[in-house]
């Protein structure tokens, strides 16, 4: 009996052709449910996102929640979706969200299902605001158009961390047979258990982010113009509303990209991290309308890229680390000058992930607040922020280099909507002092020390080669010895989060959680350099992140850049050995 005629037809066709290879790809292995939930192409078979795999995943998740919350049927869950859709398999974020809602409602669990597309941060916001047990966002963020995803939040409003992923994964395995009426999502429309949080959240969220609005009068008066693009995703309406909440004139929206379009027709990849290619239309509109600043969200509006027109007429696209430095400086300054927060500075925290710039550490040391680093990814920063907040601490800001920013304690995840409007207020304020964002960035580096970063990756499709490369680093000069130098650069410290070794700790044991399943080694160098090498959880890449942190007063930026370039070249030559290991370089 066929429930989805489109995926059924795809499989039937493959069977008729006797195409064993393709069938193996579709049915050989189930999508893995990890801490980021699911992320895969839409299509037929258990290795793809489709009606059946969504039903199975939600049945497992539902049983896991029943086991963990005795009051699940009182509190319920929230479900949101973006605008992705896949014609050939009939899959779409909205359809998947409705099927997930149907699964919970069939078990007597109240569901807060958004009636329309929303930014990803609205889901964790709703979990916290309504004190729900969990949240699901159906989105593939900035992935290619054929992909979709299923992202899961726990009752604390942060993304899940281990062991929940293992527990959910096991529950999915145990609940694969679709429950009666699993496919009939029309049943939810008449159910008293279905609620729509759309209007409430659109009011409350914009009220909450106004706590981060400190210069309303400047916002009203400013003649600074902004261009905004939502890159065919969900962001347009919400960034317009955020500007209104801050009394800023609305940004000019890139007309070709402002409406949701699952085909992303104007960009090769819908990822603002790719830099200038995604911003071509934004640059053109900004030139036409005389705007100096461009704000770009990724398709689910949880990330933000910013570009500014320089005196020379060139556009500068800020890196995630540079915007992290600016927002960190701004949010701390606003807290210090305007906050009605009576907590002492010793109760103030900022966080960033271990592969992000250490600029916040430099600001914290000089200003007297706390800085903590976490493992890579907002799931770690969100969970740590919640722990600190529960201890009465103020977590002002968290960021990661992949253009993710958490500027507002109401959302314990990255949020590109609040980040966009806070950046606009910061730029408007700086304009009254005749400063541009890039001039202020230089001022931050002058005051707290220059932090120059460089990151890239190699592609390697052979897991054995990757394993060997990292084994070689752990047995560099004989067994169980790490490198003492890298070319002319002396190594002063090593932290290996695969094995749990940290040379800087008295007992040589790392403080951050370790994971044997992924490779990650950080080298500290005598010249103030830091370099981390790690494997990617989702792609066949070995990534590296390097940074040179200079003390305040060393302002020869060109010399620092040259030094970092040399360090990176040595890292590639001696630690990656691309020729020997047949690694493929990142191509621009």
The model carries a pTM of 0.95
The confidence score (pLDDT) of residue 35 equals 86
Residues 59, 135, single domain; the answer is yes
Tokens at 246, concatenated? 């801050």
Q: Which of 394, 428, 445 is the last residue of a domain?
A: 445
Measure the CA–CA gap between 398 and 363, rounded to whole angstroms. Answer: 13
For residue 302, give the 3-state DSSP assignment.
coil
The confidence score (pLDDT) of residue 274 equals 82
- Among residues 141, 230, 436, 546, which one is catalytic? 141
Residues 491, 528, single domain; the answer is yes
Residues 552, 521, single domain; the answer is yes
61-95 pLDDT per residue, tens: 999 999 999 999 999 999 999 999 999 999 999 99
Q: Is the pLDDT of residue 553 over 90?
A: no
Q: How many CB atoms lie within 10 A of CB 311?
A: 8
Look at residue 588 and tell me if it is in a domain.
no
97-109 pLDDT per residue, tens: 999 999 999 999 9
Measure the CA–CA gap between 113 and 189, rounded to whole angstroms. Answer: 11
Q: Give catalytic status of residue 319 as yes or no.
A: no
Q: Is the pLDDT of residue 341 over 80?
A: no
CA 129 centroid distance within chain: 21
Q: Is the pLDDT of residue 26 over 60?
A: yes
425-458 pLDDT per residue, tens: 999 999 999 999 999 999 999 999 999 999 999 9
Look at residue 487 and tell me if it is in a domain.
yes
Q: Is the pLDDT of residue 562 over 90?
A: yes
**β-pair type (77-81, 111-113):** parallel
Residues 425, 510, single domain; the answer is no
525-552 pLDDT per residue, tens: 999 999 999 998 777 899 999 999 998 8
Measure the CA–CA gap between 25 and 428, rounded to whole angstroms. Answer: 52
The confidence score (pLDDT) of residue 142 equals 93
Q: How many CB atoms lie within 10 A of CB 109?
A: 22
Residues 168, 77, single domain; the answer is yes
The confidence score (pLDDT) of residue 294 equals 98
Confidence bin at 586 (pLDDT 50/70/90): confident
> Average model confidence (pLDDT) for the chain?
95
* C-alpha distances in Å from residue 104, one per residue of 63, 187, 457: 9, 12, 41
> Which residues share a beta bridge with 297?
304
Which residues are within 8 A (CB) of 370 and not within 5 positions of it... i.e. 6 or more apart? 346, 348, 349, 350, 364, 393
Look at residue 199 and tell me if it is in a domain.
no
The confidence score (pLDDT) of residue 136 equals 98
Give the chain's domain count: 4
Residues 303, 363, single domain; the answer is no
| Run of H or E including 417 | helix 416-432
> Which residues share a beta bridge with 459?
541, 584
Residues 469, 432, single domain; the answer is no
| Mean pLDDT value across residues 493-520 | 94
Domain containing residue 339: 319-445
Residue 286, CB half-sphere, CA atoms under 13 Å: how many? 25
What phi, psi does 198 have (nearest 5°)? -55, -55
User: Are 458 and 584 within 8 A, CB to CB?
Assistant: yes
Measure the CA–CA gap between 195 and 110, rounded to whole angstroms. Answer: 8
Between 293 and 274, the more confident residue is 293
What CATH number is associated with residue 96?
Answer: 3.40.120.10
What phi, psi does 186 have (nearest 5°)? -70, -20
The confidence score (pLDDT) of residue 188 equals 97
Q: Which of 147, 166, 194 is the last residue of a domain?
A: 194
Measure the CA–CA gap between 229 and 237, rounded to whole angstroms. Answer: 11
Residues 371, 250, single domain; the answer is no
Q: Is the pLDDT of residue 1 over 70?
A: no
Residues 369, 253, single domain; the answer is no
> Which residues share a beta bridge with 453?
547
The confidence score (pLDDT) of residue 17 equals 95
Look at residue 576 and tell me if it is in a domain.
yes
The confidence score (pLDDT) of residue 537 equals 74
Residue 487: which of 571, 545, 549 has the closest Cα? 571
130-175 pLDDT per residue, tens: 999 999 999 999 999 999 999 999 999 999 999 999 999 999 999 9
Percent of the chain at pLDDT above 70? 99
What CATH number is associated with residue 572?
Answer: 3.30.310.50
Q: Is the pLDDT of residue 216 over 60?
A: yes
Residues 26, 170, single domain; the answer is yes
Residues 33, 172, single domain; the answer is yes
Look at residue 377 and tell me if it is in a domain.
yes
Look at residue 17 and tell me if it is in a domain.
yes
Look at residue 438 and tell me if it is in a domain.
yes
Percent of the chain at pLDDT above 90? 92
The confidence score (pLDDT) of residue 368 equals 95
The confidence score (pLDDT) of residue 529 equals 95
Residues 464, 519, single domain; the answer is yes
Tokens at 563, concatenated? 């030094």
Measure the CA–CA gap between 188 and 185, rounded to whole angstroms. Answer: 6
* C-alpha distances in Å from residue 72, one per residue of 35, 57, 62, 69: 21, 18, 9, 5
The confidence score (pLDDT) of residue 68 equals 98
Q: Which of 301, 316, 331 is the last residue of a domain?
A: 316
Look at residue 16 and tell me if it is in a domain.
yes
């Amino acid at each position: 009996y066929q429930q989805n005629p489109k995926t059924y037809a795809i499989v039937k066709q493959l069977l008729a052709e006797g195409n064993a290879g393709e069938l193996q790809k579709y049915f050989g292995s189930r999508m893995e449910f990890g801490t980021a939930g699911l992320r895969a192409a839409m299509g037929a078979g258990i290795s793809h996102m489709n009606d059946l795999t969504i039903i199975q995943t939600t049945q497992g998740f539902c049983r896991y929640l029943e086991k963990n919350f005795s009051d699940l049927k009182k509190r319920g869950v929230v479900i949101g979706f973006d605008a992705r859709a896949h014609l050939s398999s009939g899959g779409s974020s909205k359809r998947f969200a409705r099927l997930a809602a149907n699964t919970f409602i069939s078990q007597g669990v109240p569901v807060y299902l958004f009636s329309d597309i929303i930014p990803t941060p609205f889901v964790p916001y709703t979990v916290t605001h309504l004190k729900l047990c969990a949240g699901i966002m159906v989105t593939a963020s900035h992935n290619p158009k054929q992909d979709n995803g299923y992202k899961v939040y726990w009752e604390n409003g942060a993304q899940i961390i281990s062991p929940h992923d293992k527990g959910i994964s096991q529950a999915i395995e145990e609940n694969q047979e679709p429950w009666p009426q699993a496919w009939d999502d029309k049943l939810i429309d008449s159910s008293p258990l279905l609620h729509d949080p759309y209007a409430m959240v659109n009011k409350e969220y914009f009220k909450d982010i106004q706590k981060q609005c400190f210069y309303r009068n400047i916002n009203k008066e400013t003649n600074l113009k902004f261009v905004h693009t939502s890159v065919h995703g969900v962001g347009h309406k919400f960034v317009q509303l955020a500007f209104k909440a801050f009394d800023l004139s609305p940004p000019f929206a890139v007309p070709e990209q402002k409406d949701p379009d699952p085909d992303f027709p104007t960009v090769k990849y819908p990822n603002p991290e790719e830099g200038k290619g995604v911003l071509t239309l934004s640059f053109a509109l900004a030139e036409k309308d005389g705007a100096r600043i461009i704000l770009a969200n990724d398709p689910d509006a949880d990330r933000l890229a910013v570009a500014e027109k320089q005196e020379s007429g060139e556009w500068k696209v800020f890196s995630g680390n540079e915007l992290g430095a600016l927002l960190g400086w701004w949010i701390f300054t606003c807290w210090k000058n305007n906050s009605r927060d009576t907590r002492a500075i010793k109760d103030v925290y900022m966080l960033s992930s271990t592969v992000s710039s250490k600029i916040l550490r430099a600001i914290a040391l000089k200003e007297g607040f706390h800085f903590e680093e976490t493992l890579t990814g907002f799931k770690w920063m969100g969970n740590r922020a919640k722990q600190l907040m529960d201890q009465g601490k103020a977590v002002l800001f968290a960021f990661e280099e992949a253009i993710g920013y958490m500027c507002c304690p109401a959302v314990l995840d990255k949020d590109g909507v609040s980040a966009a409007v806070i950046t606009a207020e910061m730029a408007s304020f700086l304009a009254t002092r005749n400063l541009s964002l890039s001039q202020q960035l230089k001022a931050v580096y002058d005051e707290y020390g220059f932090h120059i970063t460089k990151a890239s990756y190699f592609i390697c499709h052979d897991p054995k080669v990757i394993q060997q490369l990292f084994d070689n680093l752990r047995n560099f000069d004989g067994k169980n010895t790490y490198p003492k130098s890298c070319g002319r650069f002396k190594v002063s410290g090593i932290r290996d989060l695969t094995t749990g070794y940290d040379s800087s700790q008295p007992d040589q044991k790392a403080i951050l959680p370790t994971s044997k399943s992924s490779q990650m080694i950080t080298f500290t160098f005598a010249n103030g350099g830091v370099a981390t090498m790690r494997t990617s959880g989702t792609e066949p890449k070995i990534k590296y992140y390097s940074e040179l942190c200079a003390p305040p007063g060393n302002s020869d930026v060109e010399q620092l850049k040259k030094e970092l370039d040399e360090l990176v070249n040595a890292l590639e030559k001696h630690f990656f050995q691309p020729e020997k290991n047949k690694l493929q370089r990142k191509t621009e």
